[in-house]
Amino acid sequence: MRRINWFAWLWFTLGALYFVLPLWGTLIFSLQKRRGVLSLDAYSAALGDPRFVETFVFSNFMAICTILASLLLIVPTAYWVHLHLPRWRPVVEFVSLLPFVIPAIVLVFGFIKLYSKPIVLLGIPLFPSLTTSNLSTNLLLIAGYTVLSLPYMYRAVDNGLRAMDVGTLTEAAQSLGAGWWTILWRVILPNLRTALLSGALLTFAIVVGELTIATFLARPAFGPYLALLGNHRAYEPAALAIVSFLLTWVAMGLIDRVTRGTRDVVAGSH
């Protein structure tokens, strides 16, 4: 019989407690809105608030737009770097990590300073102020979110590209008559499916809870709503925190399911 490693179990238990206890506390607290009994009052109040629905839908929409924007930006870039500029890979990797170093507050102030007045280059107006209309500010918000998601999305795509023989697959497709877009769409993207899904779900998680950029651009996003609620209410933020956790776990479960389904295909290709 194998000996039980008590030391390993001790650390595992400590780690689990560190993670579970606050969550357990939050859950119990969120159920105590009605004095003396456990109830779902905080949940019905939080989820029934029209501002919750409004901000949640807005942030989800922004997240989808961000995922599309970062896919459009990152997949062709990473593919091209892999194929033709392998020496530039460390540089691109460094750039992709910058959002970890530069705080969101710096980014958003940079945005506001640069884009709140019309951009004029050598006397030629390039584009008007981007902070004056909701649509253009939303575009700025998506741009900001795209920057924040860069480290996760780039890494996911880069890992996916490393796992396949990009050069030879591209050449094989070219010799069969395919052009760049056909290759990207029919050969590269389908084989990046797992990587793209992981990147997309991480981006989704970041965008839906993001506070700083949305606050300073004054957009009705879910992050600022949660912060506002936290300032004025006690139980509802706890309820929403639990809901957010559940959503994240569902997302992680999805990643795991999809990854498990395709791992054999990718591994078997080499």
Closest C-alpha among 23, 51, 50 to residue 220 = 51
Nearer to another protein, 31 or 173 (CB): 173
Question: Residue 182 Cβ, how far from another protein at the closest point, in Å?
Answer: 6
Q: Does 75 interact with another protein (rule: CB under 8 A)?
A: no
Find the part of the chain contacting another protein (CB under 8 A) among 10-18, 70-78, 129-137, 185-193. Answer: 185-193
Question: Residue 269 Cβ, how far from another protein at the closest point, in Å?
Answer: 3
* Residues numbered 106-165 forming contacts with another protein, rule: CB under 8 A: 164-165
Find the part of the chain contacting another protein (CB under 8 A) among 65-73, 126-134, 205-213, 258-266. Answer: 258-266
Structure tokens at 90: 């460390």
Question: Residue 200 Cβ, how far from another protein at the closest point, in Å?
Answer: 18
Closest C-alpha among 162, 180, 163 to residue 171 = 180
Among 35, 37, 121, 175, binds another protein (CB under 8 A): 175
Closest C-alpha among 126, 148, 116 to residue 218 = 116
Strands (E), 106-251: 119-121, 124-127
Structure tokens at 242: 């639990």
* Residues numbered 192-231 forming contacts with another protein, rule: CB under 8 A: 193
Q: Which helix (H) or strand (E) holds 14?
A: helix 6-30
Q: Does 268 interact with another protein (rule: CB under 8 A)?
A: yes
Closest C-alpha among 169, 155, 157 to residue 270 = 169
Question: Residue 251 Cβ, how far from another protein at the closest point, in Å?
Answer: 24
Closest C-alpha among 89, 206, 61 to residue 148 = 206
Q: Which helix (H) or strand (E) holds 182?
A: helix 180-182
Question: Residue 263 Cβ, how far from another protein at the closest point, in Å?
Answer: 11
Q: Does 191 interact with another protein (rule: CB under 8 A)?
A: yes
Nearer to another protein, 191 or 198 (CB): 191
Q: At what angle do helices 166-175 and 50-84 cross, to 10 degrees?
A: 80
Main-chain dihedrals φ then ψ at residue 148, nearest 5 degrees: -60, -35
Q: Does 176 interact with another protein (rule: CB under 8 A)?
A: yes
Q: Does 187 interact with another protein (rule: CB under 8 A)?
A: yes
Collapse the DSSP code of 121 into the 3-class scheme (helix H, G, I; strand E, B; otherwise coil) and give the result. strand
Question: Residue 98 Cβ, how far from another protein at the closest point, in Å?
Answer: 30
Name the residues that contact another protein, by CB under 8 A: 164-165, 168-169, 171-179, 182, 186-187, 190-191, 193, 264-269
